Structure 1
């Protein structure tokens, strides 16, 4: 298949996209001790031990928060379609804390797959992230395609946008108004279309880590 087969969205004749494809349960135990009254002996020692453990845990949490990455976009999901099309996007994009002031220092990978039906024919591409911006639960990223089954788009830059809504995510891509990636290498970094696509429920989830930009300060 020489090109991606994009189905236009009627309102503005935009194209569709492509993509590939724990809940943690907390357990709490109650000791049954009345902690509103001071204890003695081993009970007091137990309380002291718990307090020390809690202090160490809080310190580790504060340490992690101080050194957490500046921004991130991760996860994989399929796009909503009324046809048999199977469209999947996957992201593993990160901006290190030391590069907080330079989103173009972001690293990571992306991939997308667009098939006419599950296991059918279509196009795919994967590449490296070269820019990442996030604000709240919205992310905008770009990357360069390094591998694909469509030679015309190899080496080009493409853009993505994601709105992380906890299972009801939305996604956009730079070729939304043109019907397919056009092989351009001139797309501005971190530039994409609004997240107009819906994610199909139950097929995955995107996660966005908010960026805290360095605002200028008065001298």
Structure 2
């Protein structure tokens, strides 16, 4: 091998080594984890055959760890029985999680339920793998509850998720206390 060829091969080898080292260093940097999250969809179990679905896409950014009211995202829910019912979509205004439990609240922005638009509602999820549970702020009221419901308020997760439908994921919140 002549001198030019040796120099070119050595240069290429050094370039490949430097590129590989830079790639390894970049991939060794762990991504910044969001402060809290609630995602997923499930249907609730009802013996009468009600079709009740909840879907969540709620997040609290790492830089907002100290303020759960800076959470973003949305959640949707619907309840139908014998072709009658309604659906609603809410803009998230608070998210607090602890372990595998999340409480999220939001203001309804889209709905076909008369009088519901603009109301704040809250939902609690317990992420138990195949046996997730769910509760909601209007559990003990005749309608969606008071317009002045505080942020991040809901009930205990008393409802069972229908078998095979729960895929909730809760990212636990770890605020500096």
Residue 63 of structure 1 and its aligned partner are, at CA, apart by 2.1
Judging by fraction of residues, say which structure has more helix.
Answer: 2
Going from structure 1 to structure 2, the CA distance change for 1:58 and 1:113 (only over 3 Å counts) comes to farther
Judging by fraction of residues, say which structure has more strand.
Answer: 2
| Corresponding residue of 1:199 | 161
Residue 178 of structure 1 and its aligned partner are, at CA, apart by 1.3
Which of 174, 181, 193 aligns to 2:144? It is 181
Which of 75, 90, 93 aligns to 1:130? It is 93
Is the CA contact 2:132–2:166 (under 8 Å) kept in the aligned structure 1? no
- Tell me the distance in 1 between the aligned counterparts of 2:115 and 2:122: 17
| Corresponding residue of 2:49 | 84
- Tell me the distance in 2 between the aligned counterparts of 1:142 and 1:204: 20
* TM-score normalised to structure 1 length: 0.68
| Corresponding residue of 2:173 | 211
Residue 185 of structure 1 and its aligned partner are, at CA, apart by 2.4
Residue 60 of structure 1 and its aligned partner are, at CA, apart by 3.1
- Tell me the distance in 1 between the aligned counterparts of 2:46 and 2:68: 32
1:103 and 2:68 are equivalent in the alignment: yes
- Structure 2 residue ranges without an equivalent (≥5): 1-19
1:75 and 2:37 are equivalent in the alignment: no
Report how many residues are paired: 160
SS at match of 1:190: coil
1:158 and 2:121 are equivalent in the alignment: yes
- Tell me the distance in 2 between the aligned counterparts of 1:59 and 1:74: 28
* TM-score normalised to structure 2 length: 0.83
1:190 and 2:167 are equivalent in the alignment: no
SS at match of 1:167: helix
Residue-by-residue CA offset, 1:91-149 (whole Å, 9 max, x unaligned): 000000010000000000010000004xx221111010000000010001100000111
